[in-house]
Amino acid sequence: MRPFCHAFFLALALLASCSMASSSAGSQDWSSAIVIRVDQSGKGDFTKIQDAIDAVPSRNTDPIFIRIKPGIYREKIVVPADKPFITLSGTKAKSTIITWNEGWNTVESPTVSVLASDFVGRYLTIQNTFGSSGQAIALRVAGDRVAFYGCRFFSFQDTLLDDTGRHYYRNCYIEGATDFICGNGQALFEKCHLHSVSKNGGAITAQRRDSPSENTGYSFVGCKVTGVGVGTTVLGRPWGAYSRVVFALTYMTDSVAAQGWNDWGDPNKQRTAFYGQYRCYGPGSDLSRRVGWSRQLSVREASHFITKSWINGRDWLRSPPTHFRKFSALTVRSSNGSG
């Protein structure tokens, strides 16, 4: 069957299932999901990830679980804003790789762009192989209530554009050199590994909070910071005047420069940026030589940033589904070329 027909019948099946779902996402049964299989060998429902996403109906209200077989997927992926409740899941991040090669020329340039709310990514590697000659985003996250588990993100400059919305990252590996976690999202990173490949003058974060009224910023809790050399990276520099970043209970190697933070050549930002540490450890965590405008947080100050309450996560983070619904018989026959 031609791909257009396949996608059409699959969309009809999904739409029919979605019509039976609750009109309110808050009352949805998240233990069950419709499963779509992506397999480059042709044994699944689609061979490309984007084709599976395209088959999901607009204004979807049902959990959709797109199960991706191991392989290297050379695709540029967009999850549109009108298609919430999608999960993209591999089995192991090292064997399920989404890759592209493009500099940051437009908002369409990232390897993967998540514009939808209530998205989950699991066990994926997302990379941009553009190299060190300029900005190149591997992942852009611009939806609200988005979570990633056990994923790996690779590029050089601006690897992860944590753009807008509330986001959660757990057990993820993030690699880059210059501002490789950037944007104006409100994000909690738990037990993540941040690795700088900068040989000199690198920065891990460039958070873009522009006003004290914005409830945005990055919090790293129980993470690990490594690099390729001694004193080769700072923890952050202010893309926005009110940039806000906190590291708590995090191990830092000597790759972290003694000063810890950089004002990006604008001393005025020293008065407005909020950069702090709480009970970090390791040779790169020493506070004695940090810039004077960074903070050693008290228990009370840190408590705002170090739990899921920071992103209201207890209201929207959910366990993966345990039951899966297959397509209608018509869709299964169609995908096998009959009907």
Domains in the chain: boundaries? 66-322
Annotation says 179 is catalytic: yes
Annotation says 144 is catalytic: no
Q: How confident is the model at residue 334 (pLDDT cuts 50, 70, 90)?
A: very low
For residue 170, the 8-state DSSP code is E
What's the confidence (pLDDT) of residue 92? 97
Tell me yes or no: is domain 66-322 CATH 2.160.20.10. Answer: yes
CA separation for the pair 79, 129 (Å, rounded): 21
Give which of 282, 278, 312 is closest to 295, Cα–Cα. Answer: 278
Write the DSSP string, 118-155: SEEEES-EEEE---SSSB--SEEE-SSSEEEES-EEE-
What average pLDDT does range 219-245 have in this prediction?
98
Q: Does residue 1 have a pLDDT over 90?
A: no
What's the confidence (pLDDT) of residue 27? 58
Give which of 15, 10, 45, 11 is closest to 336, Cα–Cα. Answer: 45
Pairing between β-strand 160-162 and β-strand 139-141 as defined by DSSP bridges: parallel
Q: Does residue 333 have a pLDDT over 50?
A: no
Q: Does residue 238 have a pLDDT over 50?
A: yes
For residue 39, the 8-state DSSP code is -
CA separation for the pair 134, 67 (Å, rounded): 33
User: Other CB atoms closer than 10 Å to residue 69's CB: what's the count?
Assistant: 17
What average pLDDT does range 135-155 have in this prediction?
98
Q: How confident is the model at residue 105 (pLDDT cuts 50, 70, 90)?
A: confident
What's the confidence (pLDDT) of residue 107? 81
**pLDDT tens sequence across 257-315:** 999 999 999 999 999 999 999 999 999 999 999 999 999 999 999 999 999 999 999 99
Q: Does residue 16 have a pLDDT over 90?
A: no
CA separation for the pair 159, 174 (Å, rounded): 8
Global confidence as pTM? 0.90
User: Among residues 62, 144, 162, 179, which one is catalytic?
Assistant: 179
Q: What is the mean pLDDT of the chain?
A: 90
Helix (H), strand (E) at residue 65: strand 64-68
**pLDDT tens sequence across 201-228:** 999 999 999 999 999 999 999 999 999 9
Write the DSSP string, 276-287: EEES-BSTT---
User: Among residues 45, 158, 162, 163, which one is catalytic?
Assistant: 158
